[in-house]
Amino acid sequence: MDLPTEAQWEYAARNGGKYVLYATDDGKFEAGRNIASTEQRNKMTHAMFNYPVGKFPPTPLGLYDMAGNGVDWIQDWYSNDYYRHSPKENPVGPKDGTEKVIRGYDSGGEEYSNQTVFRQSAAPGLGKRKWVFPFYNARCVINH
């Protein structure tokens, strides 16, 4: 098991590589139905960021909480311009760097930050976490 590459995460979030803007059951952002509304999130977490897994429908691939409920560490090192010169198929990110890619929702759960195209980065390790990301998910993949 390992952290997913960014390409693996995006392939899963986009339901097998389709053009899907939100990694939800129907590709739409419907607060209260397929992603937590602010009120639901506050009730479930008492104003914390992550809520119990599986409260909303899975994606067509059967994955829960790809949109909403925190962010995922990605195996790839972060580079702002990597995709300008990366391989077109299955890019694996830069060989090194100082920050790792993070995918998934941002601190407030807004529509923009839940899009499958939204990406950010942070230095790995617990010592210098940004305060807006108090919890990082550890979604893993099994390579066959």
CATH code of 37's domain: 3.90.1580.10
Neighbours of 117 (CB within 10 A): 10
Q: What is the pLDDT of residues 82-141, one digit of tens each?
A: 989 998 888 989 999 999 898 876 545 566 667 777 888 888 765 444 544 445 555 665
Angstrom distance (rounded) from CA 97 to CA 90: 19
CB 100 within 8 A of CB 138: no
* Global model pTM greater than 0.75: yes
Q: Which residues contact 35 (CB under 8 A, 6 or more apart)?
A: 22, 24, 29, 56, 67, 68, 109, 114
Residue 131 confidence (pLDDT):
43
Domain assignment of residue 73, given as a range: 1-144
pLDDT single digits (tens) 18-40: 999 999 999 999 988 998 888 88
- Between 125 and 5, whose confidence is greater? 5
pLDDT at 134: 45
Number of domains in the chain: 1
CB 78 within 8 A of CB 97: yes
